[in-house]
Copies of this chain bind each other. A is one copy, B any other.
Amino acid sequence: MGKKLNYGMIGGSLDAFIGDVHRKAIAVNENAELVAGCFSSNAEKNRSCGEHYQLDSDRIYTDYKEMAEKESAREDGIDFVCITTPNHTHYEMAKCFLENGIHVSCEKPLCFTIEEAKELERLAKEKELFFCVTYTYTGYNMVKLARELVMAGEIGEVININCEYLQDWMINALEEGATANTKIAVWRADPTKSGISDCVGDIGTHIESMVSYITGLHVKKVAAVLDTYGHELDLNANILVEMDNGCHGVFSCSQVCAGHANGLLIKIFGKNGSIEWHQEAPDQLLVKKKNQPIQIYNRGYSYIGGRADELNRIPCGHPEGLVVAFANIYQAFTNTIMKTQNGEALTASDKDYPDIEFGIRGMEFVTAVVKSSQNGSVWTEV
């Protein structure tokens, strides 16, 4: 292994969930080191997190702009930054790091508006920087296999799509007297932090990104109905979709479906077969060819080739889990950065991370869904 990359992090103090997953995923890859951070607006939390990771004290920043500038100026400055703060901060932060010549990995949804997303894309292109939007679930090994099977025509032309992403972590917000402030004191329910959508922005976009990733098709139109149950933003959504090949489908997402922890379920139907993948049992892929027995593909077996084989890290039957899925995304992203730094050519595998196009499509999808719901569920172009 050559030199490790240096990276910094915005957000992700010690009590945060997703920032920690980013760090563990990168640690698992063993090719990048956390050297700088601005982990919290709370000075104490920020400091203690930096010390936890044994950062030099002058690289524990209280201001992300200062961090971008100073790191940019250093010889050993960070190669990329991970932005794991709430949505409303993404745009300004990402913009700032791009402007300072630093590659960006940013949580989803990317930002607040399509315009912001496109501005980030423009800037990244101009600066020749790479931009990863961490749509985690595209990193699972068997999702790679699903993509290859569908792309290779194994199920034929896609004719119907039926996906859901059901959670229940917000269900107590439906209790009498619960408000965003008291019972669900989370930023996701706050439009000033989440933007125009809670549920669709947070998890509906995962469905959209997964379908795009696996099928290569994009959502063309939506007809949606959102439910807020008295809150400001949507907690539940049912969405009809028309893809750019003309087929239809349905995306359902919810944060109030009792008994569903993180139930992302992808079902893609083609003229000759279908595939089915569940996030909660990620090492399996169901392949259903027409007029044949159903097949269960298990990660790690010799009958699996391609990218899923290339990325296989742990022998079959030993669950890889979420951190490894995340690590797969970072592996491609960091390979892309390293190889480019070294003047090496990029392979398809290197490019196999959700880039800013995923971020833009996410914004377009959320915008259209919210608009459709506001207009009586009328079909709305994405």
Distance A229 CA – B314 CA, assembled complex (angstroms): 28
Q: Which residues of B contact A322 (CB under 8 A)?
A: 314, 318-321
CB pair A317 B167 closer than 8 Å? yes
Minimum CB–CB distance from A321 to chain B (whole Å) comes to 2
CB pair B319 A282 closer than 8 Å? yes
Minimum CB–CB distance from A219 to chain B (whole Å) comes to 13
Whether A270 is near chain B, meaning CB under 8 Å from some CB there, is yes
Q: CB < 8 Å: which of B30, B236, B301 contacts A261? A: B301
CB pair B294 A298 closer than 8 Å? yes
Q: Which residues of B contact A168 (CB under 8 A)?
A: 290
Q: Write the chain B residue with the least CB distance to A3.
A: B54
Distance A288 CA – B254 CA, assembled complex (angstroms): 15
CB pair B315 A262 closer than 8 Å? yes
Total A residues in contact with B, Cβ cutoff 8 Å: 92
User: Which residues of A286-314 have CB atoms within 8 Å of chain B's CB atoms?
Assistant: 286-298, 300-303, 314
Minimum CB–CB distance from A239 to chain B (whole Å) comes to 8
Q: Write the chain B residue with the least CB distance to A140.
A: B319
Q: Which residues of B contact A172 (CB under 8 A)?
A: 290-291
Q: Write the chain B residue with the least CB distance to A257.
A: B269
Whether A216 is near chain B, meaning CB under 8 Å from some CB there, is no
CB pair A258 B280 closer than 8 Å? no
Q: Which residues of B contact A291 (CB under 8 A)?
A: 171-172, 301-303
CB pair B160 A236 closer than 8 Å? yes
Query: When each residue 256-270 of chain A gets 1 if its CB lies under 8 Å from chain B and 0 otherwise, what string results?
Result: 111111110001011
Q: Which of A104-112, A115-123, A372-380 contacts B (4 or more CB under 8 A)?
A: A372-380
Q: Decide yes or no: A1 and B250 within 8 Å by CB, A303-B293, A317-B280 being known contacts.
A: no
Q: Write the chain B residue with the least CB distance to A285.
A: B293
Whether A128 is near chain B, meaning CB under 8 Å from some CB there, is no
Q: Which residues of B contact A138 (CB under 8 A)?
A: none
CB pair A293 B287 closer than 8 Å? yes
Q: Which residues of B contact A279 (CB under 8 A)?
A: 317-319
User: Which residues of A9-59 have CB atoms within 8 Å of chain B's CB atoms?
Assistant: 17, 21, 24, 27-28, 30, 51-54
Whether A324 is near chain B, meaning CB under 8 Å from some CB there, is yes
Distance A236 CA – B164 CA, assembled complex (angstroms): 18
Q: CB < 8 Å: which of B21, B53, B164, B282 contacts A162? A: B164
Distance A71 CA – B292 CA, assembled complex (angstroms): 48
Whether A247 is near chain B, meaning CB under 8 Å from some CB there, is yes
Closest 4 CB pairs of A and B: A321-B321, A259-B288, A262-B317, A261-B317
Interface residues of A (CB under 8 A from B): 1, 4, 17, 21, 24, 27-28, 30, 51-54, 155, 159-160, 162, 164, 166-169, 171-172, 174-175, 223, 225, 227, 229, 236, 238, 240, 242, 247-250, 252, 254, 256-263, 267, 269-274, 276, 279-283, 286-298, 300-303, 314-324, 376-379
